[in-house]
Structure 1
Amino acid sequence: MALFDNKKVIIIGDRDGIPGPAIEECLKTTGAEVVFSATECFV
């Protein structure tokens, strides 16, 4: 049983760091369900 099996995940990426879609791609193989993914600019 993996850490993210059957879990719902909210992803908030950073424009100058790691964007949300990149994190989402990494989580696709973990069994997690991405319910929200966004890339924000924190100033």
Structure 2
Amino acid sequence: MGKLAGKKVLLLGERDGVPAPAMEEALKNSGAEVVFAATECFV
């Protein structure tokens, strides 16, 4: 188990950087619960 096991996380991705679905996929096996994930455009 990692440091995020049992934790709830909010993911805010960036359109031109790392999108939220990519972060969500990377955290899939960490044991963390993704409660919100969104990809935004920061201009």
Q: What range is the shorter-chain TM-score in?
A: over 0.9
Give deviations 1:11-43, integer Å, cap 9, x for gaps: 000000000000000000000000000000000
Partner residue of 2:6?
6
Identical aligned pairs, as a percentage?
63
Structure 1 runs (4+) greater than 6 angstroms displaced: none
Segments of structure 2 that go 5 or more residues without pairing to the other structure are none
Count of aligned residue pairs for this structure pair: 43
Partner residue of 1:30?
30
Segments of structure 1 that go 5 or more residues without pairing to the other structure are none
